[in-house]
Amino acid sequence: MFSAKTYIDRRSGLQAAIGSGIILLPGNDDTGMNYKDNIYPFRQDSSFLYYAGIDRPGLTFIIDADNNREILFGDESTVEDIVWTGSVDSLVSQAARAGIADVRPLSQLPGFLAGNKQTIHFLSPYRADITLKLSSWLDIPAAQIPERVSVKLIKAIVAQRSYKTTEEIQQIEIAVNTTIDMQLKAMQLAAAGVTETEISGQLHAVAIAAGGHISFPVILTTNGQFLHNHPHHTPLQQGQLVLCDCGAENAMRYCGDLTRTHPVDKKFTTAQRDIYDIVYQSYQAAADAIRPGIRFKDIHLLACEQIAAGLTALGLMKGDPREAVAAGAHALFFPCGVGHMLGLDIHDMENLGEAYVGYTDTLQKSTAFGLKSLRLGRELEAGFVLTVEPGIYFNPLLTDAWQAAGKHTSFINYEKLAAYRNFGGIRLEDNFLVTAEGSHLLGRPFARTATEIENLIASL
Amino acid sequence: MFSAKTYIDRRSGLQAAIGSGIILLPGNDDTGMNYKDNIYPFRQDSSFLYYAGIDRPGLTFIIDADNNREILFGDESTVEDIVWTGSVDSLVSQAARAGIADVRPLSQLPGFLAGNKQTIHFLSPYRADITLKLSSWLDIPAAQIPERVSVKLIKAIVAQRSYKTTEEIQQIEIAVNTTIDMQLKAMQLAAAGVTETEISGQLHAVAIAAGGHISFPVILTTNGQFLHNHPHHTPLQQGQLVLCDCGAENAMRYCGDLTRTHPVDKKFTTAQRDIYDIVYQSYQAAADAIRPGIRFKDIHLLACEQIAAGLTALGLMKGDPREAVAAGAHALFFPCGVGHMLGLDIHDMENLGEAYVGYTDTLQKSTAFGLKSLRLGRELEAGFVLTVEPGIYFNPLLTDAWQAAGKHTSFINYEKLAAYRNFGGIRLEDNFLVTAEGSHLLGRPFARTATEIENLIASL
């Protein structure tokens, strides 16, 4: 936990932004895998954690802006709980460390809310148990919960959580450095005959050993052309590329998110290096462009143009790269966005809605293939933390569909592309803080060019 | 997957047992950790898996006993899904492998159920999203779902899933053997200075590398006196015991569940060995007693009496051990049950209700401290798979509470117990199949006595 002052300051900022009414922040509960008590690793809701600081299930926090008071609803462990789980800090002492003095039994919450005439601000739930609770507490049919969400509360939270403080950046760097350890482990283990699941298991081990967990499901695959392909129980083969997109969540729940792509054979082939170098150029152009005031959508388009230019030079695309990007032809190779916000969530604040987090009232998300997967488009500001992650993907299913439909034949050289059918995919991803001057790369120094990666693998 | 015949036979057995009406089996969906798309590892519902065989989210299966038909509701992946996740088997082909021919879009399910006049049998949900679905499909308020559950369906499923077939036992043995690999890893890594989370991370790695996952949250702790204490980021210290209770879930979702307790210093102290030997005698007495026709509650009491007799011989308890157990005094040291059913769930069928799985209309669960945590009490039958897991726990918090209340002073020597305040806890657990002749220990040979464990550790 941060100091009580951190949480008190955040809450007073939120209360000032909301002005009146009740801010209702339900924490997450445990979720059963195959029955109620066989639980997934507990993950607290990030906004609850940001304002109330307490990382345990069964809590709901209320800020009553009308009466300038805060109440945490939750129950202490019983002696019988302690037989099973051991002693834990009392809830009252945890609350005190977050600057919260008023702790009441959970059973008093429904009565507190029932018949309350104040405006109640709440966020859109992403777990059904929260929907059920809100429905019951507020006497709103479950299906109507989404339309009763407080946009004012969403905007106020986004306006705070988007700007990372020094103490938050320290936590993110811890997570990024553990993520580098995960990447090193993947490079160390990758060899013909080793399975994807063996490596993935070791990536979990690194994250858990560091006192946290993985920040999102591990992507460790020789089928990098599928953007979120998860590890299979299949052995790596000579000649393949391993795409490893993984992240650690540290003990404070801040996230890292890095991608490296490396050859099973420890050396890139010429064809692999050609594509890698284009991805790297795209990455570097995007990274160099980060500064306050630039729209991230423009950085995305810049990265796309680098990809189109590189593929045109290789003969896989043709025509003018800028025109190709404007037409959307590059999206065959790069069908997603070049990055997203990062913080307590790996896609930071995604549950609050991309329209509010990554876009603004004046810049709305495109619906075009490719651009519609760009989670962040707005003007950057100092304090934002984000990923840069261009890639080139040779997806045979998508290629077949486009070719059959005759799509973008003036920009794509389908004939030449046939040789790349089994190439796979390459992605390169780092995490950056936007600073007043430009940007700061997060984490300790780590290989990113093809040569650096080959040298690093040779040294492991 | 097993053969189509396996699933077809199971379903025809279930349909015959239910006789009429619709059996409604919703499969599980993905669950978001901190937002909708950042998902926990998918876990299919075990009864869905048992009857429909398909391990992917977004499905609901219906057996219409009145019209002798089966329908699987679910959607095929779109081309756009494939950009992200790669190609997967079509749902139609997966269904065909489970002997299901009628696959319809999920959007048709609400219409199929709305206004349906047949009796609809469903199980009690353990996830809120299923509660919300049932509520919406069947037009039943969410709060009333639990009371509308079909006891007939529960009993019919328990009557099938309780008896493991040869092909199921093969799968459980795979999981048990991977669990032995996990235990070996814990013994190999345990040393002063190594953290609990480092070892826990490696246990995850073993389970994932084997192509499955963990079957329940890892218990890897030097505080074994707390029954379900989870790993902390704290280093092991000389003189401590490491209690490791863990399990693998194999690729088919069958579970293993073993516990070993071993010394950080690789050799048990005399005091540790004394307690270990009592646990082992209790374990062996319970294991030897397994046979069809015996009540598992009686095996539990036998194990308790062995613990009481051993602690009496050591001077920590006094009086007659049988009387001590009858009075419940042993529960200070062994406050839980000696075992549970095992199969597709680590506590098999726990979501169906212990009253139906572990007890019967004539043998109901005790509410006494200790016995109320015994999940299985009924007469054993050939084909049951279960755990045997006695333990002795020195829980200072519970001891203080009992001593302050003057509980069982005629059976417990509180004065002598003071020396064991920081002892910790010891548990020993294996998995058994009940056979016509008695029982069969599952998994390959593995150390269980104190001497065997010391020798094994010395050999690693």
CATH number for the domain that contains residue B10: 3.40.350.10
Report percent pLDDT > 90 for chain A.
Answer: 93
Q: For residues B142 and B134, give the distance between their C-alpha atoms in angstroms, rounded to a whole number.
A: 8
Per the CB < 8 A criterion, the answer to whether A348 and A385 are in contact is yes
Euclidean distance between CA atoms A356 and A152, whole angstroms: 11
**One domain, residues A155 and A171:** no
pLDDT of residue A78: 83
Selecting from B31, B84, B345 the residue whose C-beta is nearest the C-beta of A127 gives B31
Residues B157 and B236 in one domain: no
Return the SS3 of A391: strand
How high is the pLDDT of residue A109?
97
The mean pLDDT of chain B is 96
- H or E element in which residue A259 lies: strand A258-263
- DSSP label at B27? P
- A184 with A245, same domain: the answer is yes
pLDDT at B329: 98
CB contact under 8 A, A41 and B217: yes
Angle in degrees, 0-180, between the axes of helices A450-459 and A166-189, rounded to the nearest 10: 70
The answer to whether B351 contacts A227, with C-beta atoms less than 8 Å apart, is: no
| β-sheet bridge partners, residue B427 | B391
B449 pLDDT higher than 90: yes
Query: Which chain B residues are within 8 Å of A217, Cβ to Cβ?
Result: 38-39, 41
The residue behind tokens 């043709």 is A318
Decide if B209 and A201 are in contact by the 8 Å CB cutoff.
Answer: yes
Cβ of B375: how many Cβ atoms within 10 Å? Answer: 22
Please name the amino acid found at residue A206: V
* Range B31-47 burial, b when 16+ CB lie within 10 A, else e: bbbbbeebbbbbbbbbb
Domain stop point among B131, B161, B191: B161
- Residue A405 CA to residue B253 CA, distance in Å, equals 41
Question: Do B144 and B273 sit in the same domain of this protein?
Answer: no
- The Cα–Cα gap between B256 and B344 comes to 9
Q: What pLDDT, in 10s, does the model give residues A125-165?
A: 999 999 999 999 999 999 999 999 999 999 999 999 999 99
Question: What integer is the mean pLDDT of B86-95?
Answer: 87
> Given its phi and psi angles, is residue B115 left (phi above 0), alpha (psi -120 to 50 degrees) or beta?
left
DSSP state of A29: -
Helical spans, DSSP H, in B21-127: 46-52, 79-85, 91-97, 109-113
A195-244 pLDDT, tens digit per residue, is: 999 999 999 999 999 999 999 999 999 998 887 777 788 899 999 999 99
Interface test with B, best of A28, A33, A249, A403 (most B CBs within 10 A): A33
CB nearest to B228's CB, from A85, A128, A209: A85
Q: State which residues of chain A have pLDDT below 70.
A: 87
Distances (CA, A) of A148 to A145, A349, A352, A358, A418: 5, 19, 14, 22, 51
Pick the last residue of a domain from A110, A144, A161.
A161
Contact B256, B424 (CB under 8 A): no
Q: How close, in Å, is residue B437 to chain A by CA atoms? A: 32
Closest residue in A to B232 (Cα–Cα): A211
pLDDT of residue B234: 87
**Which of A83, A129, A346 comes nearest B128 by C-beta?**
A129
From the list A429, A438, A400, A395, the residue with the least C-alpha distance to A292 is A438
- Work out the average pLDDT over B346-362: 96
- Please calculate the CA angle A425-A427-A428 and round it to the nearest 5 degrees: 155
Domain count along chain B: 2
pLDDT of B49-78, one tens digit each? 999 999 999 999 999 999 999 999 999 988
Nearest CA of chain A to the CA of B79: how many Å? 7
Could you give the CA distance from residue A423 to residue A410 in angstroms, rounded to a whole number?
23
Contacts within 8 Å (CB) and 24+ apart, B280-284: B280/B428, B280/B448, B280/B449, B280/B450, B281/B306, B281/B310, B282/B306, B282/B307, B282/B310, B282/B390, B283/B388, B283/B389, B283/B390, B283/B428, B283/B430, B283/B448
Say yes or no for a CB contact (<8 Å) between B202 and A198: no
* pLDDT at residue B84 in the model: 79
* A contact test, residue of B37, B208, B346 with most A CBs within 10 A: B208
Q: Count the alpha carbons within 13 Å of B406 in the hemisphere toward its beta carbon.
A: 0
The whole-angstrom separation of Cα A102 and Cα A92 is 8
CB atoms B397 and A79 under 8 Å: yes
What pLDDT is recorded for position B77? Answer: 87
Residues A80 and A195 in one domain: no
A185 and A113 fall within a common domain = no
- Predicted local distance difference test score (pLDDT) of residue A338: 97
The residue in chain A having the minimum alpha-carbon distance to the alpha carbon of residue B33 is: A43
**Mean pLDDT computed over B242-259:** 98
Task: Considering only CA atoms, give the Rg of chain A.
Answer: 24
Taking a C-beta distance cutoff of 8 angstroms, is the pair B176, B258 a contact? yes
* Element (DSSP H or E) covering residue A24: strand A22-26
Nearest to A229 among B44, B85, B216 (CB): B85
State chain A's maximal CA–CA distance in angstroms: 73
Specify whether A355 is located in the same domain as A417: yes
pLDDT digits (tens, 9 = 90+) for B203-219: 999 999 999 999 999 99
- Which residues of chain B neighbour A195 with C-beta distances below 8 Å? 209, 211
pLDDT for B131-145, tens place per residue?
Answer: 999 999 999 999 999
The boundaries of the domain holding residue B137 are 4-161
| Distance from the Cα of residue A240 to its chain's centroid | 27
Nearest CB to B38; choose among A35, A206, A216: A216
Distance CA B152, CA B123 (A): 10
**% of chain B with per-residue pLDDT over 90:** 93
Work out the pLDDT band at B432, boundaries 50, 70, 90.
very high
Q: Are residues B8 and B148 in the same domain?
A: yes
A40 shares a domain with A139? yes
* Half-sphere exposure (Cβ direction) of A24: Cα atoms closer than 13 Å: 25
What does the DSSP 8-state code read for residue B216? S
Shortest CA distance to A302 belongs to which of A273, A327, A281? A281
pLDDT of residue B293: 98
* Contact criterion met (CB below 8 Å) for A414 and A403: yes
Mutation for B interface: A31, A35, A50, A369, most B CBs within 10 A: A35
What residues of B are in contact with residue A83 (Cβ under 8 Å)? Answer: 226-227, 335, 395, 397-398
As a whole number of angstroms, the distance between CA B71 and CA B104 comes to: 7
Which of A34, A132, A209 lies closest to B351 in CB terms? A34
**CATH code of residue A336:** 3.90.230.10
Of the partner residues B38, B43, B82, the one whose CB lies closest to the CB of residue A34: B43
Q: Return the number of other C-beta atoms located less than 10 Å from residue B246's C-beta.
A: 28
A92 and A238 belong to one structural domain: no
Both structure tokens of B417: 């117990």
Phi, psi of B430 (to 5 degrees): -130, 170
Residue B52: predicted pLDDT = 98
Residue B335 with chain A: CB contacts under 8 Å: 83
pLDDT in tens, B295-327: 999 999 999 999 999 999 999 999 999 999 999
Nearest chain A alpha carbon to B197? A209
Residue B334 has pLDDT above 90, yes or no: yes
Query: Among all residues of chain B, which has the CA nearest to that of A369?
Result: B80
What integer pLDDT is reported at residue A115 of this predicted model?
A: 83
Q: Token pair 């009940």 is at which residue?
A: B434
Q: Which of B86, B210, B228 sits opposite A223 (nearest CB)?
A: B86
So what's the pLDDT on residue B15?
Answer: 98
Contact B229 A86 (CB under 8 A): yes
Q: How far is B158 from chain A (nearest CA, A)?
A: 15
- Give CA–CA dist A154/A448, Å, rounded: 36
ipTM of the complex: 0.96
- Do A36 and A172 belong together in one domain? no
**Is B306 in the same domain as B369?**
yes
Cα of B284 to nearest chain A Cα, Å: 24
In Å, how far is A422's CA from the nearest CA of chain B? 13
**Interface with B, mutate which of A44, A185, A208, A334 (most B CBs under 10 A):** A208
Whether B397 and A142 lie within 8 Å, measured CB to CB: no
pLDDT tens sequence across B359-413: 999 999 999 988 999 999 999 999 999 999 999 999 998 999 999 999 999 999 9
Q: Quick one: pLDDT at residue B206?
A: 98
**Cα gap B281→B303, rounded to integer Å:** 8
Strand partners, B243: B221, B261
Cβ contact B148:B123 at 8 Å: no
The answer to whether the Cβ–Cβ distance between B85 and A226 falls below 8 Å is yes
Q: Cβ–Cβ of A127/B128 closer than 8 Å?
A: yes
Q: Which residues pair with A70 in a beta bridge?
A: A63
- Give the chain B residue nearest A424 (alpha carbons): B86
Could you say which of A135, A161, A187 is where a domain stops? A161
User: DSSP of A72-138, one letter per residue?
Assistant: EE--PPPHHHHHHH-----HHHHHHHTT---EE-GGGHHHHHTT--S-EE-PPPSSHHHHHHHHHHH
pLDDT band at B85 (very low <50, low <70, confident <90, very high): confident
